[in-house]
Chain A
């Protein structure tokens, strides 16, 4: 059994919370006392049935206003898989929350209201999916019950969406007609849409390939901590602790340590009381090297035969996440895995109108703005391009005046 992390884009009006509530409800993931709280709540659907959307509204303000403000994480599992849902708000003012939820997902569910078809918000959500490089997309055409379960309406919507998917270069797009309210094609295939021959949403989620980060040419491990017991019997013990971001390290592999450029080979891999022959993407391990090199937190151990990019000038997509606008005259901190250094945004190349996908020249970046910039870093980062290696192609910006996370960066090219 493995884990599928997915995020849902859509607004309450599209029935997003109802869809998630339905998935949880129909997979028996809601416990009796939670259900009791649900039934005693004042919020009900028009026909008096319980409002499943309440399940995902966590904060008081959200319950009061009946909207999602922040990312909520929900969990359920079936015999096949454990699922982690990042439930994100869909309105444009919460773009940063959506980007946050999408950053760790390997699948996106895009909700379209069958009555409205592809709208501005659909374009915006799909753009974010392509920006964040999410591999799989499921487009749920929801509220099919409101359009008489019409195959024609469904087909005309997916024809429109296909044009958008092509424009955004979304690779794996799948379409499912559903009614979250009635439970059609969510867990069970619906007999009200016999013209639909595909899978139910849950069945699809259980089967889809999860991201495989194991591209061996990109073996990367940022060092988080150096283990040095300095006891009598472990006097010379020096283990580099970290999580393998991508690729595989095998015993005896030649490695380079960045930013110093020192080279060595892997002597031993430890995982608590085990000493495996290899360390793979996703695993947290301790690595020992054959040579005595100076390594500390913030350094990265990489495959010597496939070095990362080498430049202090990086072209990147930036999503601005703070209420205070970007100030190109000041220095920010950039955090890339375990490495933090100073940086400046040296140039704004363009901003994207995420409702229309048009690019505009710009000289300012405000909350929820997205566009392309040039970042100049004080120290070199051992980065890859986001499209090649998502795990090592992203970073956050921190404002040292407030310590807040103010920007998300996706590296697109090394400049020079």
Chain B
């Protein structure tokens, strides 16, 4: 019996690579959903480890709300150039222009909910049978119960009561035509695991994850980046703050946290001592206790 160094990050990494290769082996037309956030950036790194020196057996798909942080788009384009893989962009603006969805009104309007329609349209257009996503079970209570291979019906719906048992490390990806599977290779990672992995692998991230000066306004007790995408009125006072973002989403629903963290080490110690969960900075989850469960049933990531 030999001994070898195989720590928790190695184990999480090996599991994720195994899952990515199962997707490659079991599906005809998979895709990797890329948001520009740290979790999907981690997925790209894991895909490199799973398939290099070959090409990825899937394109990257970005659902573009049109309300992105510019830093995310710059990062995305630079990364695509570096890895030399195909990028498909599904545009929420296009869905709006085609009249498929209607822009929300009012102060808390966000395009976050509209993404689902664009996502489902993109899946249908390219006939994707599996979509790899960076969701983690520690993020939220409904996600804690979702399988690694999560089957969606032709309407993109997740049915929590009809989930397939998922045993050992055997993933059943068999589906009927029109259905698709959402695959979550980093299900068993926590936010801290992702950061520790990014540090270990020396992975570059969009600059908004690190502390910077930004004009913000306060909404429902949260700091929001002032931007043309936010419906502002005279009551909103713009103040300049030293902030960073813990998740990367639509500018109109992703709140900033005040932070001085400029290095990954700073971020890791900040998270280790933090008392607020990552999705605590997501307005979209604050709507109700079952907000995520409801959105997932509707076809959300």
Contacts of B176 on A, CB cut-off 8 Å? 403
Q: Which residues of A contact B274 (CB under 8 A)?
A: 31
Q: Which residues of B contact A (CB under 8 A)?
A: 1-4, 6-8, 10-15, 17-18, 21-22, 24-25, 48-55, 57, 137-138, 141-142, 144-145, 160-161, 163-170, 172, 174-176, 187-188, 190, 192-193, 274-277, 280, 289-290, 293
A338 touches B25 (CB 8 A): yes
Q: Nearest-CB distance from A64 to chain B (Å)?
A: 10
Question: Cα distance A3–B9 when bound, in Å?
Answer: 9
Known: A70-B160, A272-B49. A283 touches B14 (CB 8 A): yes
Q: Which residues of A contact B289 (CB under 8 A)?
A: 37, 41, 63
- The answer to whether the Cβ of A318 comes within 8 Å of any Cβ in the partner chain is no
Q: Nearest chain A CB to B273's CB is how many angstroms away?
A: 10
Among B24, B55, B163, B168, residue most surrounded by chain A Cβ atoms (within 10 Å): B168
State whether A283 and B22 are in contact (beta carbons under 8 Å apart), knowing that A2-B11, A75-B138, A394-B168 are contacts in the complex: no
Complex CA–CA separation, A280 to B1 (angstroms): 10
Q: Is there contact, CB below 8 Å, between B172 and A234? A: no
CB–CB B164/A404 < 8 A? yes
Q: Does A278 contact B (CB under 8 A)?
A: yes
| B residues in contact with A3, CB < 8 Å | 8, 11-12
Q: A292 vs B163: C-alpha distance in the bound complex, in angstroms? A: 42
Distance between Cα atoms of A366 and B7 in the complex (Å): 41
Starting from the known contacts A73-B145, A99-B165, A234-B53, 19 additional A-B residue pairs (CB-CB under 8 Å) come to: A31-B274, A32-B275, A32-B276, A59-B145, A59-B293, A73-B137, A73-B188, A75-B138, A77-B190, A99-B167, A224-B18, A225-B21, A241-B21, A272-B48, A282-B6, A282-B10, A335-B172, A405-B167, A405-B172
CB <8 Å contact, A228 and B22: no
User: Does the CB pair A241–B50 fall under 8 Å?
Assistant: yes
Please pick, from B51, B167, B169, the residue contacting A100 in the complex, using a CB distance under 8 A: B167
Q: Closest B residue to A279 by CB, please name it.
A: B4
A397 to chain B: closest residue by CB: B172
Q: A31-B274, A241-B50, A282-B11 are in contact. Are A224 and B2 (CB under 8 A)?
A: no
Task: Name which of A8-16, A144-152, A211-219, A371-379 contacts chain B.
Answer: A211-219
**Candidate in A57, A97, A243, A400 with the most chain B CB atoms within 10 angstroms:** A243
Which residues of chain A are within 8 angstroms of B4 by Cβ–Cβ distance? 214, 278, 280
The answer to whether A73 and B6 touch across the interface, beta carbons within 8 angstroms, is: no
User: Interface size (A, Cβ < 8 Å)?
Assistant: 73
Chain B nearest Cβ from A276, distance in angstroms: 9
Contacts between chains A and B (CB distance < 8 A), count: 178
For residue B192, which residues in chain A have a CB less than 8 angstroms away from its CB? 77
Q: Is the interface of A mostly helix, strand, loop or mixed?
A: mixed
Minimum CB–CB distance for B130 against chain A, Å: 14
Query: Which 8 residue pairs across A and B have the least CB separation, nearest first?
Result: A284-B17, A32-B275, A33-B280, A58-B141, A224-B21, A403-B174, A103-B167, A243-B18
A280 touches B2 (CB 8 A): yes
Evaluate whether A74 and B165 lie within 8 angstroms (CB atoms) in the complex, with A241-B21, A242-B21, A335-B170 already known: no
Rounded to whole angstroms, the CA-CA distance of A34 and B15 in the bound complex is 28
In whole angstroms, how far apart are the Cα atoms of A77 and B1 in the complex? 28
Say yes or no: B53 contacts A58, CB within 8 Å.
no
A216 vs B188: C-alpha distance when bound (angstroms)? 27
Interface string of A353-382 (1 = CB under 8 A from B): 000000000000000000000000000000
Asked whether A396 lies within 8 Å of B14 as measured between CB atoms, the reply is no
Q: Does A186 contact B (CB under 8 A)?
A: no
Query: With a CB–CB cut-off of 8 A, which chain A residues contact B7?
Result: 1-2
CB of A75 within 8 A of CB of B22, answer no
Contact A214 B145 (CB under 8 A): no
A302 at interface by CB-CB < 8 Å: no
Contacts of B17 in A (CB 8 A): 243, 284
B296 CB, min distance to chain A CBs, angstroms: 10
Interface status of A248 (Cβ within 8 A of chain B) = yes
Q: State whether A59 and B53 are in contact (beta carbons under 8 Å apart), knowing that A2-B11, A214-B1 are contacts in the complex.
A: no
Task: List B contacts of A41 (CB < 8 A).
Answer: 289
